[in-house]
Amino acid sequence: MPYYAHTASDPNDPDSQLPEGSGKWQLLREHLEAVAKLAAQFAAAFGLADIARLAGLLHDLGKYAERFQARLHDPAHIHGINHWISGAFAAYASSHPLLSFLIDGHHTGLPSFQNDVAGIRASLQQSLKKFNSPVTRSALTGGCPESVEDLLKHLTNDGITIPNISAQPLPALTEANRVFETAFRARMLFSCLVDADFLDTERHFDPAQAARRPAFSHAPNHDFLNAPRALEILLAELRAKPADGEVNRLRRELLDNCLQKAACPPGLFTITAPTGSGKTLSSLAFALRHIELHNKPLATDDACRLRRIIVVIPYTSIIEQTADVFRKLFGAQFGPGYILEHHSAVAPRELESNAPQHDRDAEDERTRRARLAQENWDAPLIVTTSVRFFESLFASRTSDCRKLHNIARSVILFDEVQTLPHNLVPSLLSGVSLLTGAPYGSTAVFMTATQPAFASAKNALPFGWNPTPIEADANALSETLRRTRIQLPTTPEAPAVSYTWSELAGELLNAPHQQALCVLNTTKDARALFRILKKTAAPGAILHLSSRMCPAHRRQVLAEVRRRLHPDNTAKPSCILVSTQLIEAGVDVDFPIAYRALGPLDSIIQTAGRCNREGRRPGRCSVIVFHAVEGGIPPGAYETATAATLAFLKRYPDAEDRLHLPQFYADYFAELYKLTGRDSAAADPVYAASAKLDFPAADAACRLVDANTRSVLVQWKRGQEIIEKLRREKHLSTDEWRETQHYSVNLYEHGEFLDAKAKGYVATALESQNVEKWFWAANYDEHLGACHAEGEDFYL
């Protein structure tokens, strides 16, 4: 008898299926062999093709059960069948316990036995005994009486040969590092299996969707990145920029260093260079040259070729501007699919399906292809967030894990690495270390103006930390690019560096040409100072920036700031910008003087990077760090880092003369991280859970932000039109869903969103079974953003 994996939908009635005799049902043998082939193809990049192929052949073993085949003919009356557990036990019985994890979780996610490794082994053995009993087996499978041996016999009779692969037992409980490495390998193999299973199932049920996927899915050995040509384009752009001035000379020098070090073998690298030194494009040049040189002697079908570039940025607010720069460089040559953005601006799939058919048919083909590529990072150049990258690296859910196999054999550029959560550093860096070693063969570049003390803390990192510096002399580069003088406070009582809001307003209004930047620690502080300044300054002279303003609003403010500060603007109009630390997230502005409320040392340095950024002003411009007498400090890690900064600076009377030196930051971060021994890894919840093969616990613990947030649409310009359409028509096009990101603010779930909801400041624009979308129903101030009354904060 023929065995089937899937039925076929009637193209004229998607809710009905074609009969078996239509020839459209997918044979089980065809599905297993196709998934095995794809999974092996994906895993070849890290030398695990054989075991990935075995996972593909066994993953749906339970579909050979008679009851499952009956269900395909009568799905309305036969249900509740577990078709994957049989393959999991078949893998365990053949001495491949790791595969049992993958197969068991290929629909529901990698499992947890809530026990240690020894307990997991005992649990699997006990479960296998239960499975060998016909009574308990029927209960486990949902009524299928066949044993593993029976099902394997059906598989063999169906023409499938199970490869003989050496046994791969789990490591001992005491070998925590090996268990962590095993968990990492499991996620990588899991990624190969679930992506292959999804792609082949899609090919059967939705061939039009499958054909719409990026070409890399269909021709993985083709060089879609084309690093040599992309490098030509990039270098032509960089060398066309002005070469005069010390700053431009040093940017060119950093570029040359990147191109030279690109000849090094794949591995771990760092770039430590001040803000404004051109790290983003120079590191991209490194990646392209590195890939070109590495791949040159390899055959086009060699699995060891480097395949893509992944740019990892900590802030969503600057991802789109970075991706736009890349599109302007490469879009005309390589087309829209060359660059993939992956962050929170993704249209909810459930809501797209609510759209009328004519809207879905009219959806832009480029957008649909990009959405498909986001599922498994099937693109040559990817721009994503630190949250998306690291939370995927330790994920247990199938949807999040699909992309992992495509991270192997990549060049990964991490920007502003000092933003990584201190308590998760051991696991996050261990993941990167494994990626950059055998068998995954990736290259990682860690970039920052304030390189954290990862190297000095390498004894605390289970897999070590020995990066190669790309810049020739970080201290010399920082000395030469020293464009500011940072004036530090001594004690809270020092009157010269302590300000009330009124005193600070007076200082800002007395700045030359009334052009100054002031960065405060909280939104509440920024609003308080803005209101005082607005009372006395000329109309329009004072600008405000915070996360309570939607991104489109913030971009409008920054465009006005750049217009006023432009060197060709000889009128030198007033421009006092009061901002939260949001301005430090890669925003390219250039003020003649800056004030910064005492905060974490790396934040102070980031503010300094927005002062005399281009080095056009003679001498060193002032960055004044002060105590805000009436100000606050965000709780948690930010407050801890601020206290550590003050304590650290007090021990160094000459700190002002050393702030520009990378080694000074290394000492600070070493103290902040307090990574002094290997016990630090055990205290890291992601590492601890991974070392027990508790995949869901590791997934839950890997959160790079302190709290969940809710995205709330605001009624500002185009945002009001989108809200009205969503409330009226209950759907948006994909492009409109993407637009919502530009007209939304994020509120912390607890303390902000729930408080605003209770007070009626937010309302639902759309509410369905799967998705709800909220909008800010109270006042949206033209200067301050989301408020509940004219100019008032919505929180107490």
pLDDT tier for residue 1 given thresholds of 50, 70 and 90: confident
What whole-number distance in Å separates Cα of residue 278 and Cα of residue 281?
A: 6
> Average per-residue pLDDT in the chain?
85
Q: What is the CATH number of domain 267-273+308-345+355-478?
A: 3.40.50.300
Residues 533, 499: contact at Cβ < 8 Å? no
Q: What is the mean pLDDT of residues 526-536?
A: 96
pLDDT surpassing 70 at residue 777: yes
Closest CA to 203 of 10, 402, 34, 42: 34
Closest CA to 681 of 424, 393, 420: 424
207-219 pLDDT, tens digit each? 888 887 766 655 5
Q: How many CA atoms lie within 13 A of 587 on its CB side?
A: 28
- 152: Cα separation from own chain's centroid: 41
Q: Which two tokens stand for residue 239?
A: 């060398």
Are β-strands 762-767 and 785-786 bridged in parallel, bridged antiparallel, or unpaired?
unpaired
pLDDT tier for residue 506 given thresholds of 50, 70 and 90: very high
Name, of 5-14, 234-243, 278-287, 707-716, the range with top average pLDDT: 278-287
Please tell me the predicted confidence (pLDDT) of residue 478: 60
Residue 636 backbone class (left: φ over 0; alpha: ψ -120 to 50; beta: rest): left
pLDDT surpassing 50 at residue 790: no
pLDDT surpassing 50 at residue 284: yes
Q: What is the mean pLDDT of residues 476-499?
A: 67
DSSP string, 736-764: HHHHHGGGEEEEEIIIIIHHHHHTT-EEE
Residues 607, 586: contact at Cβ < 8 Å? no
Comparing 714 with 664, which gets the higher pLDDT? 714
Residues 595, 518: contact at Cβ < 8 Å? yes
Q: Tokens 């679930």: give the residue.
A: 194
Residues 489, 598: contact at Cβ < 8 Å? yes
- CA atoms 545, 449, 252, 336: torsion sign: negative
pLDDT surpassing 90 at residue 595: yes
- DSSP run (H or E) holding 671: helix 662-673
688-747 pLDDT, tens digit each? 999 888 999 999 999 887 667 888 999 999 999 999 999 999 888 877 887 898 899 989
pLDDT surpassing 90 at residue 541: yes
pLDDT surpassing 60 at residue 792: no
Q: Other C-beta atoms within 10 Å of 317: how many? A: 17
Please tell me the predicted confidence (pLDDT) of residue 795: 44
Alpha helices in 108-245 (DSSP H): 117-131, 134-141, 148-157, 176-205, 207-212, 227-239
What whole-number distance in Å separates Cα of residue 774 and Cα of residue 469?
A: 46
Are β-strands 26-27 and 4-6 bridged in parallel, bridged antiparallel, or unpaired?
antiparallel
Give the residue extent of every domain in the chain.
Answer: 4-176+183-207, 267-273+308-345+355-478, 483-659, 709-786
Are β-strands 9-10 and 4-6 bridged in parallel, bridged antiparallel, or unpaired?
unpaired
Asked whether the bond before 512 is cis by omega within 30 degrees of 0, the reply is: no
Please tell me the predicted confidence (pLDDT) of residue 93: 83
Comparing 537 with 137, which gets the higher pLDDT? 537
Q: Distances from the Cα of 387 to the Cαs of 22, 414, 417, 737, 752, in angstroms?
A: 46, 12, 12, 21, 21
Please tell me the predicted confidence (pLDDT) of residue 21: 75
| E-only strand ranges, 442-579 | 443-448, 468-469, 484-487, 498-499, 515-519, 542-545, 575-579
Single-letter code of the amino acid located at 184: F
Please tell me the predicted confidence (pLDDT) of residue 564: 95
At the top level of CATH, the class of 483-659 is alpha beta
Please tell me the predicted confidence (pLDDT) of residue 526: 97
The contacts found for 645-649 with CB under 8 angstroms, 24 or more apart, are 645/598, 645/599, 645/600, 645/601, 645/604, 646/598, 648/601, 649/488, 649/601
pLDDT surpassing 60 at residue 24: yes
What whole-number distance in Å separates Cα of residue 635 and Cα of residue 726?
A: 36
The three-state secondary structure class of 11 is coil
Please tell me the predicted confidence (pLDDT) of residue 370: 60
The three-state secondary structure class of 473 is coil
- DSSP run (H or E) holding 361: helix 357-361
Q: What is the mean pLDDT of residues 406-410?
A: 96
Comparing 13 with 439, which gets the higher pLDDT? 439
pLDDT surpassing 60 at residue 615: yes
- 789: Cα separation from own chain's centroid: 36
Closest CA to 188 of 44, 320, 304: 44
627-638 pLDDT, tens digit each? 999 999 998 888
Closest CA to 626 of 508, 464, 720: 508
Please tell me the predicted confidence (pLDDT) of residue 650: 85
Comparing 76 with 29, which gets the higher pLDDT? 29
Q: Which two tokens stand for residue 152?
A: 């394997």
- 732: Cα separation from own chain's centroid: 25
The three-state secondary structure class of 218 is coil
Closest CA to 723 of 776, 760, 687: 776
Q: Which residues are paired to 339 by β-bridges?
A: 381
Q: Other C-beta atoms within 10 Å of 483: how many? A: 25
Please tell me the predicted confidence (pLDDT) of residue 455: 67
Please tell me the predicted confidence (pLDDT) of residue 656: 83
Name, of 335-349, 367-381, 642-656, the range with top average pLDDT: 642-656
* Fold: same for 267-273+308-345+355-478 and 483-659: yes
The three-state secondary structure class of 215 is helix
Closest CA to 110 of 183, 20, 207, 7: 183
112-128 pLDDT, tens digit each? 755 544 545 555 556 65
217-272 pLDDT, tens digit each? 555 566 889 999 999 999 999 988 887 777 788 889 899 999 999 999 999 999 98
Are β-strands 785-786 and 780-781 bridged in parallel, bridged antiparallel, or unpaired?
antiparallel
Please tell me the predicted confidence (pLDDT) of residue 516: 97
Name, of 46-60, 419-433, 585-599, 708-722, the range with top average pLDDT: 46-60
What whole-number distance in Å separates Cα of residue 298 and Cα of residue 682?
A: 41
CA angle 15/21/22 to nearest 5° reads: 55
pLDDT surpassing 50 at residue 361: no
Among the residue ranges 294-308, 318-332, 610-624, 689-703, the one predicted with the least confidence is 610-624
What whole-number distance in Å separates Cα of residue 501 and Cα of residue 528?
A: 8
pLDDT surpassing 70 at residue 367: no
